[in-house]
Chain A
Amino acid sequence: MIDVLQIAGAHHRYGALTALDSVDMTVRAGECVALLGPNGAGKTTLVGLATGLLAPQSGQVRVCGGDPRRAATRRHLGVVQQSMGFPRTLTVAELVRGAAVRAGRPATAAGPVLAEVGITDLQRRRAGKLSGGQQQRVALAMALVGDPTLLLLDEPTVGLDITSRRAFWRTIAARRDAGAGILLTTHIVEEAAAVADRVVVLHRGHVVAADTPAGLTARLPDRTIVARTGVADSVLRTLPGVLSVTTDGDRVQVATAAPEDVLRRWLVLDEQLTDLRVEGAGLEQALLALTGDATSGDNTTGNNTTGDKVEVRA
């Protein structure tokens, strides 16, 4: 497989602030990579490097083997930026046709892409007057119309309703299956996990994990049992299969890979046990564990909560 995006040892600073610190990652042709991480993690900065908008202070960025700061290299790129103000004076069709021509394609390429993104009925409207979600789809159409080898989508799902989001993920999967490499950032983690082949987690400018969605969640205990109980923490810790015990108000959270075994013994010990809940660990929890931004001091995972490197397979 060909690497359509290669980032090696990239540093980027804004003045004194280090936004990216020796970041390595790749996107292959026919692969969808979700770039996840909390606000300010450096996702937009990384996308900026890949689009050639920013230059790394050190390290290397290659798009289809070329420097994205050269216009010719950007022929292979389709980009949705996090904040793009549409001109008030142009219609949707004019914008997408313009994007086609700038990407070296005929203006007639716009029609099929408008249909692909489902905005054919908006084509005569002024883009600046559309709703946020509609504008987001126009931006996607502009990114797709050049038939890019590498798609860079910075928060393309912002403002999309459920139906549009489903359509969006279908479009992404189809483009990926047609051979495009895709790098996208989003805060809708579980949806990304359903489509992405790999997830790269960025935290404070570092890549803290790079794995398949399944690989990431596999690092967490499978279940967390939450309940109100009279049994002391110290006793619960001695039960076989229990990984960790934490209290959250009057509730106890027990992390375990074998919830049935633990519960069987726990219920024997405490006949008054109430408010029982068993939660699965999804990518969202994995992400919280990795980036240490978990709410209510949740450290049940016993996993890495400081944002240090867990394992990097970029």
Chain B
Amino acid sequence: MTAIETGPTSPLAPGLRVLGVEVADGVRAILREPTALFFSVLFPVMFFALFASLFGNQPSASGLPTAATMLATFGTFGVVSVMLLSPGVAVAEDRTSGWLRVKKVSAAPIGTTIAAKVISALPYALAVVLAISGVSLLVAGPVLDLGTWLRLVGVLLLGGLPFTLLGLAVGFVASSNATAAVLNAVYLPMVVASGLWFPLDMMPGFVQALAPFLPTYHLAQLALAQLTGADALGNLLALLLTTAISAVLAGWAYRNLRV
């Protein structure tokens, strides 16, 4: 009966230790089975390398070199790929396999496990941004000053949050295969229609009209605004609204979480 008496000395420390273990497990999962994230990381980097080497030095509509604006658009594409898919699919996999049930009957709150899935995806999102920044440096030279670049990275990583919530909302209720399929089916058209691959002014009129209804468009615009200094309050509000809606969806799905 000793277990009853030996309580934790600090209520915070055990929670942080569990988070540490869970994040380490999450990072290992991605490192040891990289195929799941392979395309999320490789696609943006390859596309970026191709387009940047073709058009990187030409001036874009905003007057900045195309390589600079592409850092914002492809950065959005890359970060959202990882943050939308990785935590949601990881939770769905653990649910489908029954592993989440092991966490559910443990003394650690299940929220820690889910938070850890999000945190362990962040290094990979950062890796995508670093990779395309490296490529940009190679093919177009330095196009941004360090301060602007850091602001861009910060906006992209924070801007991944509403997409993570959306991915989790699907991952809480659907199987792992269905989660990946549903998210990709929604996401890839959104990427094209938000002008992340090709500039929006190259797109047909109806796509240009549709873009302001897509959260990926607003994140890309907010990222671009870090470079151009344009007013992006509307984009910020749109993203906050998306975050609120995603949070409600994720909360509802969490309450219906079947483990």
Nearest chain A CB to B29 CB, angstrom units: 4
In whole angstroms, how far apart are the Cα atoms of A37 and B109 in the complex? 32
In whole angstroms, how far apart are the Cα atoms of A146 and B259 in the complex? 22
Is residue B151 within 8 Å, beta carbon to beta carbon, of the partner chain? no
Interface pair B25/A99, CB less than 8 Å apart = no
Is residue B154 within 8 Å, beta carbon to beta carbon, of the partner chain? no
Interface pair A87/B29, CB less than 8 Å apart = yes
Interface pair A101/B17, CB less than 8 Å apart = yes
Interface pair B3/A148, CB less than 8 Å apart = yes
Interface pair A87/B101, CB less than 8 Å apart = no
Interface pair A74/B33, CB less than 8 Å apart = no
Q: Which of A129-186 contact B (CB under 8 A)?
A: 142, 146-149, 179
Q: CB < 8 Å: which of A88, A90, A103 contacts B107?
A: A103
Interface string of B1-36 (1 = CB under 8 A from A): 111100010000010011011100100110011000
Interface pair B107/A77, CB less than 8 Å apart = yes
Interface pair B25/A77, CB less than 8 Å apart = no
Given contacts A74-B106, A102-B103, contact A89 B32 (CB under 8 A): yes
The interface stretch among A78-86, A234-242, A252-260, A297-305 is A78-86
Interface pair B98/A81, CB less than 8 Å apart = yes
Interface pair A86/B99, CB less than 8 Å apart = yes
Given contacts A79-B105, A104-B107, contact A97 B3 (CB under 8 A): no
**For residue A74, which residues in chain B have a CB less than 8 angstroms away from its CB?**
105-107
Main secondary structure of the interface of A (DSSP, over half): loop
Nearest chain A CB to B10 CB, angstrom units: 11
**For residue B14, which residues in chain A have a CB less than 8 angstroms away from its CB?**
101, 104
Main secondary structure of the interface of B (DSSP, over half): helix
**For residue B32, which residues in chain A have a CB less than 8 angstroms away from its CB?**
89
In whole angstroms, how far apart are the Cα atoms of A99 and B108 in the complex? 10
**For residue A107, which residues in chain B have a CB less than 8 angstroms away from its CB?**
21
Number of A-B contacts (CB under 8 A): 88
Given contacts A101-B18, A102-B108, contact A149 B1 (CB under 8 A): yes
* Chain B residues within 8 Å of chain A by Cβ, number: 31
Q: Which of B178-225 contact A (CB under 8 A)?
A: none
Q: CB < 8 Å: which of B4, B29, B106 contacts A99?
A: B106
In whole angstroms, how far apart are the Cα atoms of A2 and B29 in the complex? 42
Q: CB < 8 Å: which of A71, A79, A90, A149 contacts B3?
A: A149
**For residue A84, which residues in chain B have a CB less than 8 angstroms away from its CB?**
98-99, 101-102
Is residue A51 within 8 Å, beta carbon to beta carbon, of the partner chain? yes
Q: In the complex, what residue of chain A is closest to B103 when comparing beta carbons? A: A102
Interface pair A71/B29, CB less than 8 Å apart = no
Interface pair A98/B25, CB less than 8 Å apart = yes
**For residue B22, which residues in chain A have a CB less than 8 angstroms away from its CB?**
98
**For residue B97, which residues in chain A have a CB less than 8 angstroms away from its CB?**
85-87
Nearest chain A CB to B203 CB, angstrom units: 40
In whole angstroms, how far apart are the Cα atoms of A31 and B108 in the complex? 26
Max chain B C-beta neighbours (<10 A), residue from A2, A86, A104: A104
Given contacts A53-B101, A84-B102, A104-B14, contact A90 B25 (CB under 8 A): yes
In whole angstroms, how far apart are the Cα atoms of A22 and B106 in the complex? 26
Interface pair A88/B33, CB less than 8 Å apart = yes
In whole angstroms, how far apart are the Cα atoms of A2 and B5 in the complex? 14
Interface pair B105/A72, CB less than 8 Å apart = no
Q: CB < 8 Å: which of A71, A85, A146 contacts B99?
A: A85
In whole angstroms, how far apart are the Cα atoms of A284 and B107 in the complex? 36
Interface pair A89/B105, CB less than 8 Å apart = no
Interface pair A81/B102, CB less than 8 Å apart = yes
In whole angstroms, how far apart are the Cα atoms of A72 and B14 in the complex? 12
Interface pair A102/B106, CB less than 8 Å apart = yes
In whole angstroms, how far apart are the Cα atoms of A104 and B7 in the complex? 8
Is residue A76 within 8 Å, beta carbon to beta carbon, of the partner chain? yes
Interface pair A76/B259, CB less than 8 Å apart = no
Nearest chain A CB to B116 CB, angstrom units: 11
Q: In the complex, what residue of chain B is closest to A97 when comparing beta carbons? A: B21
Q: CB < 8 Å: which of A64, A85, A142 contacts B98?
A: A85
Given contacts A84-B98, A87-B94, A94-B25, contact A2 B104 (CB under 8 A): no
**For residue A79, which residues in chain B have a CB less than 8 angstroms away from its CB?**
102, 105
Q: In the complex, what residue of chain B is closest to A181 when comparing beta carbons? A: B1
Is residue A75 within 8 Å, beta carbon to beta carbon, of the partner chain? yes
Nearest chain A CB to B36 CB, angstrom units: 10
**For residue A179, which residues in chain B have a CB less than 8 angstroms away from its CB?**
1
**For residue B98, which residues in chain A have a CB less than 8 angstroms away from its CB?**
81, 83-85
**For residue B4, which residues in chain A have a CB less than 8 angstroms away from its CB?**
64, 76, 149
In whole angstroms, how far apart are the Cα atoms of A81 and B105 in the complex? 9
Given contacts A85-B98, A90-B25, A147-B3, contact A53 B104 (CB under 8 A): yes
**17 A-B residue pairings within 8 Å (CB atoms):** A71-B108, A74-B107, A81-B101, A86-B97, A86-B99, A87-B25, A87-B94, A89-B25, A89-B32, A94-B28, A97-B21, A98-B25, A102-B108, A103-B106, A104-B14, A146-B107, A149-B4
Task: Taking A71-B107, A89-B32 as given, write out 13 further A-B residue pairs in contact, using a Cβ cutoff of 8 Å, ordered by the A residue number.
Answer: A29-B1, A51-B105, A71-B108, A71-B109, A74-B106, A76-B3, A85-B97, A88-B33, A90-B28, A101-B17, A103-B107, A104-B14, A148-B3
Q: Which 4 A-B pairs rank lowest in CB-CB distance, beginning with the nearest?
A: A85-B97, A51-B105, A102-B108, A89-B29
